[in-house]
Structure 1
Amino acid sequence: MLALRDILLCKGLRRNVANNNGTGQEQIERDRRQLPSLVEAGRHAGRSRVVFSGSNINLHLWIRDSFISIVQNKTRVLILAFFIIYQLFFWSWGSLYYLLVRFKPGCIYGADSFVEAWVFAVVTQMTVGYGNTGPQNCWPVSVMIVVQGILSVLLGAMVVGIMFARISHPHYRGRSIYMSDRASIARRDGTLKLMFRIADIRRTQVVEPHVKTFLYTWGSGRVTAEGEKIPVRCEALDIGYIDGMLLLPLIIEHTIDERSPLCGHTHDSLTSLNAEIVVTFEGTTEFGNPFMARRSYLPHELHWGEQFLPIIMRPEGSETNKHYGVDLTHFHDLRRQKDVPSAPASEVSHAVVSRALKTVPYPLLGENTLVVSDSLCVSWTRGGALELVARVGDTYPNQMVEVVVHFILYRWCRLEDQQRDPLLPTFTQHRLDVGYNTGADRLNLRLPVDVRHVIDARSPLANWLEPGGVDSDLGSEIVVIMNGYRTRSTDNVLRQRTYNVGQHVRWGHRFVPIVRPPGFSGDGKARVRWGKFHAVVPDTRKEVDGHAVSVPGGPRIRLAKATPASLAGTSSEHPCCPGTSSLLGHSLCPALPGSNSHPAPPVSLLSTQLSRMPSRLGPGAVEASDYTILPMDLHRYAAEIASMATPAGAVAPGSLDAVPEDRAMQDSELSLNAPLVAQSAQDEADAAKMARNL
């Protein structure tokens, strides 16, 4: 039977059987793989596949919930049942009237046979009107007519009510709600999102539509501290605002960040947990009848790094074409995003999750439009002090209020130290002061700002001013947390970035100025070049390329490059500074007069070398990631995945070769509320040329 369905599907015979649910291939694939699911897909998408077992379950439903049990039967079954019931009614009353005529003649005139008595029963129940047969002056027949009339009214009311409830069942209105048979997990404007498409093909409006999404994860389950076994976990996926009119198809988005249950998940982890995403659409018809439609997605139905095909067509403005159009033939179709590698889902998912592109959020009201730079800069103030700088902003100015930024430094214990002293803490946490001492300081993000931490003797990073201090922190992480409140809904909004010191900190660089004063604009308004938000250039305000840098109140230091050995916690003694660490022959030690030490490399070379350092976080940390700490439950539930080992010759998941190069927004002067556009190849070439000239 399954093979026959495959043949019919391949021939396109079932292509339009259930357009709202796709071709039905998903359910066929589930059956072929013998994959369990909570909700059915394909032709009967939305129907629960949960089977309840127990003693007298069906009898309990028929007795305690008889009306719903009757209505949920198929229409043809109900029609056949009502036909049989009416026939039993007619034959039963016909028999009673025939017995009455036989034992008491004269009560019914014109009824001497069973056929005439049966016709009299039909005429009485259907209220056709008496003709050749009818009642006489007889009490027994009068009482029987009254009883039959009352029972026939009750029977007719039940039949009409059940058939009306069946015909007007909300399930049929849900058939006009199209839900894509596949979902996508990809990036939009650099933000990782779960996306699926919904449309209402009727011109009548749905009142108060709502979309609810839940993630069910199984795996091996978990055991509570009290010994209770919990086999499944259900978590809500926040959808947020959707268009309440549903005039056009919508791509529903769920942002995957630290607050999402999908945070850190890949194709392998979702498969190992037997995950299932259940989507429910709820609404009310214009007649006031509530209805719903439901859909579920299994891990193999989640397409990583793909986007839905455009199906909305604008009118050409001609006399014959004045209507907007929607091509539903491609409603369920997806295509791979630009520069996403063609590889198995396991590898693509790692690349999509790990890579945080150099983009900024699109300025949409109600969305999380906070943005943090994808790298940190270490440069010098005008007073000569060393500072750590991050750039933050809001692409929809002043949409977020009460914005605060926190810098947190995580220093990890080296493996050999942990083995030598098992009681040594795995990490230490230090808060870096960025000017929020009183708790009343808040950022006004009408324009992007640079948040600075001055590295002095009181800073947790004071060891950077000492010889070899930076070398000891190359494996550390700096987490920048930016949160505020959305003015529209007062919801707390979070944006977080994690930076590896040896990989994401740009030494001797500063951020490119992107704010243009109002006096330089024709309309007298400040403008922001959002396309250069993440751009950095070497800091040439001081002589640092190989020359000593004087830092007031601290030692004279010169920057140096790091070795992979330093990342592993090993070091060697530098000849010019006994007892200090050496970094490829160049140290972070004081410049001693008359010493024969090798000159330090240029800062630009240092930044290039550090940016290519291998990360201690594994292959996933190739850029400043949205998150690096995975949810605890992901490790608790997930089974060991032997297939995650990369075969010989294959591209490692999340490696630089498996993901596109960094992309930035267009290098054009945009007004504060102007839309953002993608940067072209020519813009990238111009930016590279400018960096070389600097």
Structure 2
Amino acid sequence: MVKRKAKKEVQRRIVSKDGHNNVLIDNVEGMVKLYLHDIWTTVVDMKWRYKLTLFASTFVMTWFIFGIFFYFIGMGNGDFDTGANSTHISCVTNVESLTGAFLFSLESQTTIGYGFRYISEECPLAIFTLVAQLVITGLAEIFVTGAFLAKLARPKKRAETIKFSQEAVICRHQGKLCLMIRVANMRKSLLIQCQLTGKLFQSNVTEEGEQTQIHQSSVDFYMDSSGDCPFLILPLTFYHVIDEKSPLAGLTAESLLNRNFELLITLNATMESTAATCQSRTSYIPQEIRWGYEFKPVLFSSPNCRYVVDFNFFDKVQATNDPTLLGNNTEKL
């Protein structure tokens, strides 16, 4: 009797179970320059702690920088000289120190306008600096605020409420040998135009003898007889037919234990509430694929004429009763 043996080394994964990328990008020349060329994507992809720091520092730094400009303008105009006569007109009235210049810059940029500090008509340079401050900081605030809102509106968090089964199973479906996975929507809001696709990553040797460490093959998944499903409101089971056209052709219960591959699953859907698209990913390695098993029912009916989805059974599997797979179901034997 053959027993299922765990591999001594943990298999590397390109994508983790929760859909995060495990590929490390290293030794890229000019990485900082590339990130600065696409500054919008860089700012949107920032972690929240860096984004909040950038959001706050944008305001504080512009207040302080233009406050310094107004301070030097007043210094050049002789506004801070103690011996100034009574007829001297200051560029910025009631600004006598760097703190006062900072407060005037803050009041001007935030349009507070207390009326205590103001620019006189006799100082064109101060007027030009104020106009430049309002234009430049207005554009900077629009950029940072837009990036802040864009990160909030990203459907990334919505994708986290899409649940994949922890394991995939191989059994017969409609008379064909199929690899099956289960997908569920954890929210009541619908996901429409769902489409599930798969990519098989494994090493490959070409006809010319060239060996590639990672070779991608498309794995088509279906739900009933269609590649698309109208909406994801109930847990659905998608299946891939293992035939001569499948990249998993020739797979058996014994060879499954010795294969080294990763099956990447991607679900693309449209959120009904916002019409935005979201994408959720997961992956399966051979140790997470059960041969000769099927998913337990997860949908039940309640006495009050409603359907109940019990997620206690979402990841539960049971041995199939198909006699053609019993000989390969080594765990059951």
What interval of TM-score do these two structures reach, taking the shorter chain for normalisation? Answer: 0.7 to 0.9
2:15 aligned residue: 39
Deviation for aligned residue 1:349: 8.8
Task: Report the Cα distance in structure 2 between the residues aligned to 1:252 and 1:303, rounded to whole angstroms.
Answer: 15
The one-character-per-residue Cα deviations of 1:415-442 (angstroms, maximum 9, x if unpaired) are xxxxxxxxxxxxxxxxxxxxxxxxxxxx
1:170 aligned residue: 155
Letter in 2 for 1:224: E
1:285 aligned residue: 271
Q: 2:177 aligns with which of 192, 195, 205?
A: 192
For the pair 1:294 / 2:276, whether they are aligned, the reply is no
**Does the 8 Å CA contact 1:282/1:291 hold for their aligned counterparts?**
yes
Deviation for aligned residue 1:92: 1.1
For the pair 1:310 / 2:297, whether they are aligned, the reply is yes
Root-mean-square deviation over aligned CA pairs: 2.7
Change in 2 beyond 3 A, CA 1:350/1:91: farther
Letter in 2 for 1:35: Q
**Does the 8 Å CA contact 1:193/1:253 hold for their aligned counterparts?**
yes
For the pair 1:238 / 2:240, whether they are aligned, the reply is no
Task: Report the Cα distance in structure 2 between the residues aligned to 1:142 and 1:250, rounded to whole angstroms.
Answer: 65
Task: Report the Cα distance in structure 1 between the residues aligned to 2:130 and 2:244, rounded to whole angstroms.
Answer: 74
Letter in 2 for 1:232: I
2:46 is paired with a residue of what secondary structure? coil
Deviation for aligned residue 1:189: 5.0
Task: Report the Cα distance in structure 2 between the residues aligned to 1:48 and 1:164, rounded to whole angstroms.
Answer: 24
* Greater C-alpha radius of gyration: 1
For the pair 1:121 / 2:105, whether they are aligned, the reply is yes
For the pair 1:229 / 2:211, whether they are aligned, the reply is yes
1:243 is paired with a residue of what secondary structure? strand
Q: 1:75 aligns with which of 28, 48, 61?
A: 48
Q: Give unmatched runs, 5+ long, in structure 2.
A: 1-5, 80-89
Deviation for aligned residue 1:122: 0.8
**Does the 8 Å CA contact 2:194/2:269 hold for their aligned counterparts?**
yes
For the pair 1:49 / 2:34, whether they are aligned, the reply is no
Deviation for aligned residue 1:350: 6.4
Letter in 2 for 1:36: R
Task: Report the Cα distance in structure 1 between the residues aligned to 2:137 and 2:198, rounded to whole angstroms.
Answer: 47
Change in 2 beyond 3 A, CA 1:237/1:140: same
Deviation for aligned residue 1:253: 1.1
The one-character-per-residue Cα deviations of 1:243-265 (angstroms, maximum 9, x if unpaired) are 31222110111122222221221
Change in 2 beyond 3 A, CA 1:110/1:253: same
Letter in 1 for 2:161: S
2:63 is paired with a residue of what secondary structure? helix
Matches within 5 A, 1:124-203: 124-137=108-121, 138-188=123-173, 190-203=175-188
1:591 aligned residue: none
For the pair 1:351 / 2:328, whether they are aligned, the reply is yes
For the pair 1:274 / 2:260, whether they are aligned, the reply is yes
**Does the 8 Å CA contact 1:267/1:349 hold for their aligned counterparts?**
no
**Does the 8 Å CA contact 1:224/1:230 hold for their aligned counterparts?**
no
Matches within 5 A, 1:588-607: none
1:626 aligned residue: none
**Does the 8 Å CA contact 2:195/2:267 hold for their aligned counterparts?**
yes
Deviation for aligned residue 1:339: 7.8
Letter in 2 for 1:139: P
Greater strand share, 1 or 2? 2
Task: Report the Cα distance in structure 2 between the residues aligned to 1:269 and 1:97, rounded to whole angstroms.
Answer: 76
The one-character-per-residue Cα deviations of 1:308-338 (angstroms, maximum 9, x if unpaired) are 222212232xxxx343221223322223334
Change in 2 beyond 3 A, CA 1:179/1:98: same
1:259 is paired with a residue of what secondary structure? coil
Task: Report the Cα distance in structure 1 between the residues aligned to 2:75 and 2:152, rounded to whole angstroms.
Answer: 44
**Does the 8 Å CA contact 2:271/2:277 hold for their aligned counterparts?**
yes
Aligned residues: 311
2:190 aligned residue: 205
Letter in 2 for 1:80: T
Task: Report the Cα distance in structure 1 between the residues aligned to 2:10 and 2:62, rounded to whole angstroms.
Answer: 48
Q: Give unmatched runs, 5+ long, in structure 1.
A: 1-28, 341-347, 353-652, 659-694
Greater RCO (Cα-Cα under 8 Å, separation 6 or more): 2
Deviation for aligned residue 1:279: 0.5
Change in 2 beyond 3 A, CA 1:322/1:109: farther
Change in 2 beyond 3 A, CA 1:113/1:64: closer
Change in 2 beyond 3 A, CA 1:194/1:152: same
Letter in 2 for 1:239: F
Q: 1:332 aligns with which of 305, 315, 320?
A: 315
Change in 2 beyond 3 A, CA 1:129/1:322: farther
Task: Report the Cα distance in structure 2 between the residues aligned to 1:165 and 1:173, rounded to whole angstroms.
Answer: 14
**TM-score of the pair, normalised by structure 2:** 0.84
**Does the 8 Å CA contact 1:61/1:69 hold for their aligned counterparts?**
no
Deviation for aligned residue 1:268: 4.7
Change in 2 beyond 3 A, CA 1:271/1:83: farther
Task: Report the Cα distance in structure 1 between the residues aligned to 2:326 and 2:267, rounded to whole angstroms.
Answer: 27
Q: Which stretch shows the higher mean deviation, 77-86 or 152-161?
A: 77-86
Task: Report the Cα distance in structure 2 between the residues aligned to 1:33 and 1:60, rounded to whole angstroms.
Answer: 38
The one-character-per-residue Cα deviations of 1:176-224 (angstroms, maximum 9, x if unpaired) are 2111121111223543211111112233332311100122222xx3143
**Does the 8 Å CA contact 1:95/1:117 hold for their aligned counterparts?**
yes
